[in-house]
Amino acid sequence: MIRTRISDLLARTDFGAEVCVKGWVRTKRGSKSVNFIALNDGSTIKNVQIVADVEKFDEETLKQITTGACLCVEGTLVESQGAGQSVEIQATAITVYGTCGADYPMQKKGQTFEYMRQHAHMRLRTNTFGAVMRIRHNMAMAIHRYFHEHGFYYFNTPIITASDCEGAGQMFQVTTKNLYDLKKDEEGKIDYSDDFFGKTTSLTVSGQLEGELGATALGAIYTFGPTFRAENSNTPRHLAEFWMIEPEVAFYDINDNMDLAEDFIKYCVRWALDNCADDLDFLNKMIDKTLLERLHFVVEHDFVRLTYTEGIEILEAAIKNGRKFEFPVYWGCDLASEHERYLVEEHFKRPVILTDYPKEIKAFYMKQNADGKTVRAMDVLFPQIGEIIGGSEREESYEKLTQRIEELHIPMKDMWWYLDTRRFGTCPHSGFGLGFERLILFVTGMQNIRDVIPFPRTPKSAEF
Ligand code: 4AD
Ligand code: MG
């Protein structure tokens, strides 16, 4: 018999039909005469209830049906008598594909997220992680659809690279050299000429620089790929391996860029509300009771836009009025998450886009303002998350860009290909990067970024 996915089955009303479902047992309860099995196959947060009359099955089979076991069930679709479900299956045949012992790590309900992280290979079978992973998939679909519908081309940038886009030096090195037998020159420097690529290479921290090459040829592109940062940040918002979406658009200035960011992120959140209702209801009930309210709020309200300098003034005024922060606030400081969240959650009570940051705390490629102090950067700050997007208008002047590269002592010879965009038909352009997992954090209401990616990579942790 053909298998029906449980999500499809629960929508059916052709009672009396013979059906087949396959999945994993969530719970079994029952009496001497009848067993009720809640079966889940990952297609939906909802289980289907299997009703098994004890007399129809041998004792051995029924004994093997424990939490976590995998079953194939054939039976008749019937209208449910119980509350909470519309249909159930009156079982006629049950095959146990895989038994599941009492040492199954997801046996008990209400385990901590920390415990589940240690068993991340099995946590996907829980309700919470099922919901998060289905939403994650839906967000990826929304992102591709948004850009496709708006004339952007999906552009793949390299994962192995010889340039440090953000200039922060937090890169994972890629080498095939024998680390036990490293050849060094007279100065004690490692000779990379005989390494795989003939030079030092690393995993990318951003596809932006190559993305700019795409945008200044195709008009508008976006990347969506894995990104790596060897920053030793043990926070609920940082991963060493995360996914980033980076649109880049020719002829956009900073205002067009902000409009794009706001429209794009609202589209994604609306997509979740329209397409992930069951999973969001579950998360709203179990994880965060204000989740749905927050999602609706974001799609329905304009983001506040102000400069970094205005943001600092607000924070300084708050401190004067007695508000305490862990980190100091002064013009020129890099805002901490607590400052960003103050602006969003307490002061404005809505998403904020901060622009025109001091050039010292931003990357070399950002367009310099006439004041000589600030650059046309934009960070989108979200409730609960802090920075969800970072971007800018790009410096299109060859002279200004090379001068900044010199000031920052970035090796110019490695940048020749990037600088060629400014030598050959340069143009105003802008773009930004959205951290995919930060978006998933926001949309699911989960508290820790390690719980919105199947297999998190963080300092001292690369299990599974
Ligand atoms: O602000 P960032 O560093 O900007 C860039 O990489 C630019 N090249 C983007 C661009 O203009 N094309 O990173 C962009 C976003 C951040 O706002 C944050 O959401 C996310 O990437 N992000 C991280 N997410 C998880 N773990 C980390 N360690 C992250 N670092 C940045
Ligand atoms: Mg940033």
Which of 169-173, 280-284, 296-300, 344-348 is the least confident region?
169-173
If you average pLDDT over residues 95-101, what whole number do you get? 97
Does residue 432 have its Cβ closer than 6 Å to ligand 1? yes
Ligand 1 centroid distance, CA of 263 (Å): 19
pLDDT of res. 426: 98
Range 452-458 average pLDDT: 97
Query: CA angle, corner 357, sides to 355 and 361, nearest 5?
Result: 140
| Atom 22, ligand 1: residue with shortest CA distance | 435
Ligand in closest contact with the CA of 435: 1
Among all bound ligands, the one having the nearest atom to the CA of 456 is 1
pLDDT in tens, 323-359: 999 999 999 999 999 999 999 999 999 999 999 999 9
Number of the ligand 1 atom closest to the C-alpha atom of 211: 12
Please tell me if the CB atom of residue 340 comes closer than 6 angstroms to any atom of ligand 1: no
As a whole number of Å, the CA-based R_g of the chain is 27
> pLDDT at position 169, please?
75
Q: Residue 389: CB within 6 Å of ligand 1?
A: yes
Q: With 90 as the cut, is the pLDDT of residue 62 above it?
A: yes
Q: Residue with the nearest Cα to atom 2 of ligand 1? A: 390
pLDDT at position 85:
78
What's the pLDDT score for residue 81?
A: 80
**246 CA: nearest ligand 1 atom:** 12
Going by CA atoms, what residue is nearest to atom 25 of ligand 1? 238
Residues 123-147 have pLDDT tens digits of 999 999 999 999 999 999 999 999 9
Percent residues over pLDDT 90 in the chain = 91
**Ligand 1 contact, 246 CB (< 6 A):** yes
52 CB near ligand 1 (under 6 Å): no
Residues 174, 449, 243, 453, CA torsion sign: positive
Q: How far is CA 223 from CA 170, 203, 390, 428, 433, in A?
A: 20, 15, 14, 19, 9
**387 Cβ below 6 A of ligand 1:** yes
| Spacing, Cα 434 to ligand 1 middle (Å) | 6
Question: Which ligand approaches the C-alpha of residue 357 most closely?
Answer: 2
Q: How far is the CA of 185 from the centre of ligand 2 (A)?
A: 37
Distance (angstroms) between ligand 2 centre and the Cα of 328 equals 19
Separation of CA 185 and ligand 1 centre (Å): 36
Per-residue model confidence as pLDDT tens digits over 153-182:
999 999 999 988 787 779 999 999 999 988
pLDDT score, position 214:
98
Distance 247 CA to ligand 1 centre (A): 12
CA distance 284 to 431: 33
Ligand 1, atom 18, lies closest to the CA of 435
Q: How far apart are CA 351 and CA 166, in angstroms?
A: 25
Closest residue CA from atom 4 of ligand 1? 390
> Looking at residue 165, what is its pLDDT?
78
Model pLDDT, residue 108: 82
Taking CA atoms only, the protein residue closest to ligand 1 atom 21 is 435
> Is the pLDDT score of 232 beyond 90?
no
pLDDT more than 70, % of the chain: 100
Residue 361 Cα to ligand 2 middle (Å): 10
Angle (CA) 380 288 38, round 5°: 130
pLDDT tens track for 192-225 = 999 999 999 999 999 999 999 999 999 999 999 9
Query: Residue 147's pLDDT is what?
Result: 98
**Mean pLDDT, rounded, of the chain:** 96
Q: Which two tokens stand for residue 58?
A: 């041998």
**Ligand 1 binding pocket includes 435 (Cβ within 6 Å):** yes
Quick one: pLDDT at residue 44? 98
Reported as a pLDDT band with limits 50, 70 and 90, residue 31 is confident
**Residue 433 alpha carbon to ligand 1 centre in Å:** 6
- For a mutational test of ligand 1's pocket, the pick from 244, 335, 355, 365, i.e. the residue with the most ligand atoms closer than 8 A to its C-beta, is 244
99 C-alpha to ligand 2 centroid (Å): 48
Ligand 1, atom 14, lies closest to the CA of: 433
Q: Compute how many other C-beta atoms are within 10 angstroms of the C-beta atom of residue 409.
A: 8
Q: Which of 234, 438, 457, 461 to mutate to test the pocket of ligand 1 (most atoms within 8 A of CB)?
A: 438
Rounded distance between C-alpha atoms, residue 225 and residue 269, angstroms = 20
Specify the pLDDT at position 414: 85
Q: 387 C-alpha to center of ligand 2: Å?
A: 7
Nearest Cα to Cα of residue 240 among 225, 255, 229: 229
Q: What residues have CB less than 8 Å from 398, skipping those under 6 apart?
A: 419, 422, 423, 426
Q: Amino acid identity, residue 248?
A: E
Indicate which residue's Cα is closest to atom 5 of ligand 1: 433
Contact 437, 452 (CB under 8 A): yes
Q: Model confidence over 365-403: pLDDT tens digits?
A: 999 999 999 999 999 999 999 999 999 999 999 999 999
pLDDT of 286 over the 90 cut: yes
Question: In Å, how far are 45, 84, 89, 111, 457 from 10, measured between CA atoms?
Answer: 11, 12, 10, 28, 37
Joined tokens for residue 441: 């954090």
CA 206 – ligand 2 centroid, Å: 11
User: How many angstroms separate the CA atoms of 261 and 431, rounded?
Assistant: 9
Q: What is the 345 CA–ligand 1 centroid distance (Å)?
A: 21
Q: Is the pLDDT score of 78 beyond 90? A: yes
